[in-house]
Structure formats: C-alpha cells, structure tokens
Amino acid sequence: MALLDYFLRKKEKQVTTASKAKERLQIIVAHERNSRHKQPDYLPQLTEDILAVLRKYINVPDDSLSINLDNKGGDLNVLELNIELQDDEVKG
C-alpha cells in the first residue's frame, strides 16, 4: 500500500508552509505599507460614516470596510474603497 500512498499523496493539494508564509507576508506587508503612507486625517471619520450608511441596509462588521488614498504619481490620487460582504448579508 505504500506505493499507492506515494501516488495518492502527490495528487493531493496540500497547504504548504511556503504558501502559508506567503499569505501571512502579503497581509502584514500590506498593513505596514498602509501605515507608512501618511493618510489624510478625515479617513477614520469617513470610514465611520460609510459604515453607518451601510448598516442602514446590511449588517457589516467594523473590519469589513477598508479605505485607502493612493497617490498614483503626479496629480492622480485614487480613493480606494473595499467592502467585504458575507454571503448571507447580501440577500438582506
């Protein structure tokens, strides 16, 4: 059976430690990059206000909303708004 195991094991898609490392790094690096860029003072209040509006319609936790102001070089600034919804919240 050892032979069978050998072939079966190869097929399985395992979560490797390397992919875990990558995932953790992507999160922490993104987080640290955000705190590095000086964000305008109104962002926290804006976040609160948008959350309040969202909550009129759907139930969303605090961490479901992220807002970033990115300078794309030159005069171009992009306000990026990311709202994560869970499946059961969308149906409402």
Partner 1 sequence: MARIIVVTSGKGGVGKTTSSAAIGLGLALKGNKVVIIDFDIGLRNLDLIMGCERRVVYDFVNVINGEATLNQALIKDKRVNSLSILPASQTRDKDALNKENVGKVLEELGEMYDFIVCDSPAGIEAGAMMALYYADEAIVTTNPEVSSVRDSDRILGMLASRSRRAELGLDPIKEHLLLTRYSPKRVEEGEMLSVEDVEDILSIPLLGVIPESQAVLKASNAGEPVILDTDSDAGKAYQDVVDRLLGEKVDFRFLLAEKKGIFSRMFGG
What is the biggest distance separating any 2 CA atoms in the chain, rounded to whole angstroms? Answer: 65
Minimum gap (Å) between residue 58 Cβ and partner 1: 32
Among 3, 4, 18, 52, binds partner 1 (CB under 8 A): 18
Among 16, 52, 75, 87, binds partner 1 (CB under 8 A): 16
Grouping H, G, I as helix, E, B as strand and the rest as coil, residue 59 is: coil
Is residue 24 close enough to count as binding partner 1 by CB under 8 A? Answer: yes
Minimum gap (Å) between residue 13 Cβ and partner 1: 10
> DSSP per residue over 2-65, as a string?
HHHHHHHHHHS----HHHHHHHHHHHHHHHHHHHHSPPPTTHHHHHHHHHHHHHHHS---GGGE
Between 24 and 55, CB nearer to partner 1: 24
Hey, which residues between 27 and 86 contact partner 1 (CB under 8 A)?
A: 28-29, 32-33, 36
